[in-house]
Amino acid sequence: MLENNRKMLAIGLLALTTAAVSTAASAQNWPTRAVRIINPFPAGGGTDAFARPLAAKLNAEFGQQILIENLGGAGGTLGAGTASRANGDGYTWFMGAVHHTIAETLYRKLSYSLERDFVPVTVAAYVPSAVVVHPSIPARSIKELIALDKKSPGKINFGSAGFGTTHHMNGELFNISTGTKLVHVPFKGAGPLMPALIGGEVDMAFDGMGTAAPNIKANRVRALAVATAKRAELLPDVPTLQESGVNMDVTTWYALWGIKGTPQPIIDRMYQSTIKVMAQPDIKKIWEALGATAGGQSPAEFQKFIRSEIETWGKVVKASGAKVEN
């Protein structure tokens, strides 16, 4: 009996070793065909601004097409749900954002779990947000904006890229912090949001620098503040919210995930390739032009960061009383 057990153990170990070698070899050969990255927002938004240059560089790195598939809707949760149901074979990836850590608490029911159904790769970019208003709004500072709102509560509205996005929660946090009554107007992504703001359909937005900065410089919208603790390099003359008397320090970030079941060697290879291309000078210039700084944490570090962000934004959601029934 003991001898049989030893034989069975040896066979089991051989099988595990063979499987590990096979998986490693598969990772070395991967990819052998086109790879898609699901972007859960419409084209033209902040996620696109980083996903597309990254995909172009990964094309050259892997020698295969890296395709961006835009699946916008429901504050980025529709595309996330679709991605979560894909095969974990290394041929589908997910380019999400801080919005998805907010959604974990904001939405009463999601078809997926960010921590259960996805495998962290790394943060691609951190981007400061700016408080921007349509030129018709007479406020030229945060203090003037607050005074304007308190004179006519509920008259000023702010647009967002959808429920649960940082645009939305920054507005809710601003209301909590200042006692204002800004009214939320959701869109289907940052792509449609900025044209709506420029056209005067909404009064203001808490928008990422990637889409806001070019329009600020072109005088299509007016910047009142940036939401990070330090002033943005792209807008050195624009004060922070803290300098303006509002206790807020928030940053938007965009990141890459694999799908549950993706072999770890493939996750590791995608991570190494991603940080390699983000270190290239032309990518650095693109990130700088968008007011962003590169991420690059290891998958394990990113996993801890996700847990921290879910907890942090969960407190904001609870304090705001915001909920999305779905």
- Per residue in 209-245, pLDDT (tens digit) is 878 888 999 999 999 999 999 999 889 999 999 999 9
DSSP 3-state assignment of 226?
strand
Q: How far is Cα 293 from Cα 282, in angstroms, rounded to an integer?
A: 13
Across the chain, mean pLDDT equals 91
CATH 3.40.190.10 domain position(s) in the chain: 128-226
Strand partners, 251: 128
| DSSP single-letter state for residue 206 | E
CATH 3.40.190.150 domain position(s) in the chain: 34-126+252-320
User: 61-79 pLDDT, tens per residue?
Assistant: 999 999 999 999 888 999 9
pLDDT at 154 over 70: yes
262's tokens: 């993706």
Select from 3.40.50.300, 3.40.190.150, 3.40.50.10190, 3.40.50.2300 the CATH code of 34-126+252-320.
Answer: 3.40.190.150
Percent of the chain with pLDDT over 70: 91
- Could you count the other beta carbons within 10 Å of the beta carbon of residue 129? 27
Q: How far is Cα 197 from Cα 104, in angstroms, rounded to an integer?
A: 28
Q: What is the pLDDT of residue 151?
A: 96
CB 36 within 8 A of CB 92: yes
H or E element in which residue 5 lies: helix 2-29
Percent of the chain with pLDDT over 90: 77
Please state the φ and ψ torsions of residue 259, each to the nearest 5 degrees. Answer: -95, 145
Q: What pLDDT band is residue 165 in, cutting at 50, 70 and 90? A: confident
pTM (two decimals): 0.83
Q: How far is Cα 39 from Cα 41, in angstroms, rounded to an integer?
A: 6
Q: How far is Cα 92 from Cα 69, in angstroms, rounded to an integer?
A: 10
pLDDT at 10 over 60: no
Q: What pLDDT band is residue 8 in, cutting at 50, 70 and 90? A: low
Select from 3.40.50.450, 3.40.190.10, 3.30.930.10, 2.60.120.260 the CATH code of 128-226.
Answer: 3.40.190.10
Average pLDDT of the residues in 126-148:
96
Q: What is the pLDDT of residue 325?
A: 78
pLDDT at 152 over 60: yes
pLDDT at 24 over 80: no
Q: What is the pLDDT of residue 21?
A: 43
Q: What is the pLDDT of residue 271?
A: 98
User: 93-121 pLDDT, tens per residue?
Assistant: 999 999 999 999 999 899 999 999 999 99
